[in-house]
Amino acid sequence: MSAKLHVLAIEPYFGLSHRMFLEGYARYSRHEIVLWDLPPRKWKWRMRGSAYHFAARARQEPPARVDIVFASDFLNLADWRALAPGELGRRPSVLYFHENQLGYPLSQDAPVDFHYGWINLSSALAADRVLFNSAYHREEFLREVERVLGLMPDHVPLDLVPSLRERSGVFPVGIDFAPHEEVVASRRGWRSKAPVILWNHRWEYDKAPERFVDALIELDRRGAAFEVAVCGESFGKVHPAFERLEAELSPRIRHLGFIESADDYRRLVADSDIVVSTARHEYFGVSVVEAMVLGCLPVLPAKLSYPEIVPPHLHPLFLYRDESELPDFLERFLAEPPTYFADEVRAAVGRFHWRHLAPVLDDHLEAIASGAHPKPLE
């Protein structure tokens, strides 16, 4: 098919990877993408109330034409479909899961609250099609749905999980690599005397920065040659792990802190050699993919979504089994870096470029908008 759709993309939390996803898709799609968004703050209130805001907006400034609605997991899609005026609430809809609140790990002091997970579940049930950013994510969500349904005292709808599985698919996070390609052209080679180890994730508990710092301190104790660059967005005070890093390994630190400029961030990443993750939780791994495209070799856990990013035959080279293995793994990696696979690593993650993915998503949305059964995306 080659029809040009009018896609209403609704994003209540327009920041970080959510923003990058939609802006990149709009840039490369053959469809007309109309974006309704809200700033990325107060995520719980976005999940609770953004549907009311967008329904009111639809009444005040009704879009001229909408063929399909594309929404993220921060929208209560069931509320939207109930409240949207006229035919708008009955338009075909696709729900895209960047994350979900049933499987998202809680911090040590956070109370258990299934409310937001139930919003995700209701939204998924209200959608015509549900897409997850990784197969790992989809399986975890369906497993968690089955678990929380088991908490119901009676009248459990046993067909929900099979129904969701049938209507779901996997579509990775698209990235516009055009700015990265400009930086790669000027990248230097491997820094053999003191390779730069990069950690470029959010400074939060689910990314486990303390595991990373523990491994570096052990490498330092063993006399390994390396430097370290830490970036990624922080929220509030500095994580205690990075206070410890600065106190104990200050001479090795090339950078520590958030980088406002996207160009400066890409240059720092391209000037690094190894990108490390110590995450407890990762549904896709945008920062790792960006680093790999910019020439970093990955050192990643052999779990979560990472085995889907690294080609299977390269898993033994780049994926470590558990946190206790990380210092040994990094020590071997520094001593004998598999740099001869650098081009293959970059090519492997090049498949996430919107140049390749946008036509696939375009076709998928066309099939859904026309009432046809879309081809599997996996």
How many residues are listed for the chain in this entry? Answer: 378
Separation in Å, CA 143 to CA 112, 128, 153: 17, 20, 19
Report the DSSP beta bridge partners of residue 289: none
Q: What is the pLDDT of residues 197-211, one digit of tens each?
A: 999 999 888 999 999
pLDDT tens, per residue, the chain with 378 residues: 467 999 999 999 999 899 999 999 999 999 999 999 999 999 999 999 999 999 999 999 999 999 999 999 999 999 999 999 999 999 999 999 999 999 866 555 556 567 899 999 999 999 999 999 999 999 999 999 999 999 889 998 989 999 999 999 999 999 999 999 888 877 777 777 899 999 999 988 899 999 999 999 999 999 999 999 999 887 767 789 999 999 999 999 999 999 999 999 999 999 999 999 999 999 999 999 999 999 999 999 999 999 999 999 999 999 999 999 999 999 999 999 999 999 999 999 999 999 999 999 999 999 999 988 777 776
Q: What secondary structure letter does DSSP report for 353? A: B
Prediction pTM value? 0.94
Please spell the DSSP secondary structure of 289-322, one letter per residue.
HHHHHTTPEEEEESSTTHHHHS-GGGHHHHEESS
Give the domains, in start order, of the chain with CATH numbers: 6-174+354-369 (3.40.50.2000), 178-352 (3.40.50.2000)
Tokens of 90: 């009955």
CA dist 4 and 31 (Å) reads 5
Q: What is the pLDDT of residue 162?
A: 95
Contacts with 6 (C-beta within 8 Å, 6 or more apart), sequence order: 31, 32, 34, 63, 64, 65, 66, 67
Question: Which position has the token pair 């005026």?
Answer: 85
- State which amino acid sits at residue 298: P
197 closest CA partner among 182, 215, 210, 183:
215
